[in-house]
Amino acid sequence: MDFKRIEQDIQQPQVLSQSQFLEASQKEERRVLSVLRLLSAAATVMLILIGSKAYAVGHTFHGVALYMFAILMMLNHLHLIRKQNSSSFKQSFFFLVAILFLYLTATGGESNTGPLWFYAFPPLAFYVFGLRIGLTGIVICMLAVLVMFRFPDLPFVTTTYEVDFQIRFLATLTFVSIFAYVLDSSRRTARDELMEMVELYDRAARTDELTELSNRRDMKAHLESEFHRYQRHSRHFSVILMDIDHFKHINDNHGHDAGDIVLREFAQLLKQLCRRIDILSRWGGEEFLMLLPDTSLLQALSMAERLRDEVEMHDFMYRGTRIPVTMSAGVCSISQFKDISGLLKQTDINLYEAKINGRNRIIPAVKPTRTTPVQQTVS
C-alpha cells in the first residue's frame, strides 16, 4: 500500500462545506434583496417628486409617465411582500429601471439630462445579476441608446442630442461599465477566496492532520446529529471504539515514524472496509471511533469482528519489516442508553474489558452471524 496516498475527501465534511456555501449564498441573496428594496422605495419617492415637478411646470406627459413608473415600482414591491418571490422582484425591478432609463434617453427628461441617469445602471446590473447577465443587459441598453442617437426620427424618440454629447456619453458610459465590471469582479473573487479560506480552516478544525479522518470534535457533532435523528425517527445506530494493541511497543521498537505509518495505514484500511454512510474518526492517540447509522448491535458486532480479522491479517510494513498489528474494540448500540454520554462510557468500558482479557478481541463477545452482515443492511 502507498503510505503517502491518503484519501483527501471525506463524505460527511463535504456535506457540511456545501451547506456553509449555501448558507453564505443565501445571506448574500438576502443582503442584495434588502438593498434593492431600499432602492425601489427611494426610486418610487424620487419618481413621484420629479413627476410632480414636471407636471407643475406644464410637462404633463412626462409627469404622468414618471407617475406610472412609480406606480409600477410600488406594485412590484407589493407583489414581493405578498408572494415572497425575490427572483421575480429582482427581474421586474431591473426591467423597470432599464425601461425608465431608455425612456429618459428617448425623451430627454428634464432639459435633455435624461441620459445621465444611465450612469447608475452598470453598477446596479452587476450587483444584482452578476457579471455575465449584467454585462448582457448593459450591452443591450447601450445598443438601444446608440439606435436612438443614430435614428432620432424614430416615432418614440422625441429629442435630439449633439454629436459631441453622444460621443462623450457613450465613451464615459463604457468607461463606467468597465470600471463597475472590474470592481464587481474583484468583489466576487475576494468573496470566493474568503469562503475557500473559511472552508479550509473549518476542515482543519474538524480533521485529524495525520490520518485525514474526522477528529474527536467533529465526531461528537456527528454523534449528536445521529442521536437527534434517533430521537425523532427511532433509527438505531451503533458505535465501535477501537484501539491498536501494544501501540507503545511499536513506537519503542520501530520508532515514531513507524508508528505514524501504522496509524495512517490503519485508518486507510478501516475506511476501505466501512460503508459510505459510516463515519470514522481518530478519537485520540491510537483509538478510533466508528459511527454506524441504521445499525443494530448484532450487525455492529459483525462489522467489528470483520475489522479485527482484517487488521490482524493485514501486512503493515515499515522499511521492509512487517509489523504485527492487532486491535481490540468495544461495541455498543444506542438502544441500550438514554444519551450519548452513557453510550460512550459503556463503549469505553467494553474496550477496556477487551484489553484486560487478552486484547485482539471484541466486547461484547458475541460471534457474528453469516446471515446478517452489516454490509447487507445499507449499501
Q: What pLDDT was estimated at residue 19?
A: 61
Q: How high is the pLDDT of residue 199?
A: 79
pLDDT band at 301 (very low <50, low <70, confident <90, very high): very high
373 — pLDDT class (breaks 50, 70, 90): very low
Least reliable range by pLDDT among 282-286, 300-304, 335-339: 335-339
Question: Is the pLDDT reported for residue 8 higher than 50?
Answer: no
Judged against a pLDDT cut of 80, whether residue 5 lies above it is answered with no
On the question of pLDDT at 23 being above 80, the answer is no
The answer, yes or no, to whether residue 200 has pLDDT greater than 90, is: no
* Statement: residue 354 has pLDDT above 80: yes
Ramachandran region, residue 212 (left: φ > 0; alpha: ψ -120 to 50; beta: rest): left
Q: What is the mean pLDDT of the chain?
A: 88
Start-to-end CA distance of the chain, whole Å, equals 25
Residue 22 has pLDDT above 50, yes or no: yes
> pLDDT over 70 for what percent of the chain?
90
Q: At what angle do helices 297-313 and 256-273 cross, to 10 degrees?
A: 130
Distance CA 157, CA 281 (A): 71
Output the pLDDT for position 323. Answer: 95
- According to the model, what pLDDT value does residue 367 have? 55
> Could you report the per-residue pLDDT of 66-108, keeping only the tens digit for each?
999 999 999 999 999 998 898 899 999 999 999 999 999 999 9
Distance CA 309, CA 375 (A): 16
Which grid coordinates belong to 376? Answer: 447487507
Domains and CATH numbers, the chain: 11-202 (no CATH), 216-376 (3.30.70.270)
Query: Is residue 244 predicted with pLDDT exceeding 90?
Result: yes
Question: Can you give the pLDDT at residue 376?
Answer: 40
Q: What is the pLDDT of residue 366?
A: 60
Higher pLDDT, 32 or 22: 32
Per-residue pLDDT, 32 = 87
Q: Strand 327-333's sheet: what is its strand order?
A: 279-284, 287-293, 237-244, 327-333, 362-363
Q: What's the Rg (C-alpha) of the chain? A: 34
Say yes or no to pLDDT of 361 above 80: yes
Per-residue H/E/C for the chain: CCCCCCCCCCHHHHHHHHHHHHHHHHHHHHHHHHHHHHHHHHHHHHHHHHHHHHHHCCCHHHHHHHHHHHHHHHHHHHHHHHHCCHHHHHHHHHHHHHHHHHHHHHHCCCCCCHHHHHHHHHHHHHHHHHHHHHHHHHHHHHHHHHHHHHCCCCCCCCCCCCHHHHHHHHHHHHHHHHHHHHHHHHHHHHHHHHHHHHHHHHHHHHECCCCCCECHHHHHHHHHHHHHHHHHHCCCEEEEEEEECCHHHHHHHHCHHHHHHHHHHHHHHHHHHCCCCCEEEEEECCEEEEEEECCCHHHHHHHHHHHHHHHHHCCEEECCEEECCCEEEEEEEHHHCCCHHHHHHHHHHHHHHHHHCCCCCEECCCCCCCCCCHHHCCC
With CA atoms as reference, report the closest residue to 329 among 348, 311, 314.
348
Mean pLDDT score, 115-132: 92
Task: Reply yes or no: is the peptide bond before residue 155 cis, omega within 30 of 0.
Answer: no
Which residues are CB-contacts of 40 (< 8 A; sequence separation ≥ 6)?
73, 76, 77, 93
Judged by average pLDDT, the poorest of 189-193, 342-346, 361-365 is 189-193
Confidence of residue 18 (pLDDT cuts 50, 70, 90): low
pLDDT of residue 159: 93
Residue 177 CB neighbour total at 10 angstroms: 23
CB atoms within 10 A of CB 64: 12
CB atoms < 10 A from the CB of 239, how many? 27
155-188 pLDDT per residue, tens: 999 999 999 999 999 999 999 999 999 999 999 8
52, 63 Cβ separation under 8 angstroms: yes
**Residue 6, C-alpha cell as written in the block:** 491518503
User: Which of 129, 154, 124 has the alpha carbon at shortest distance from 38?
Assistant: 124
Residue closest to 231 by CA, chosen among 239, 219, 240, 223: 223
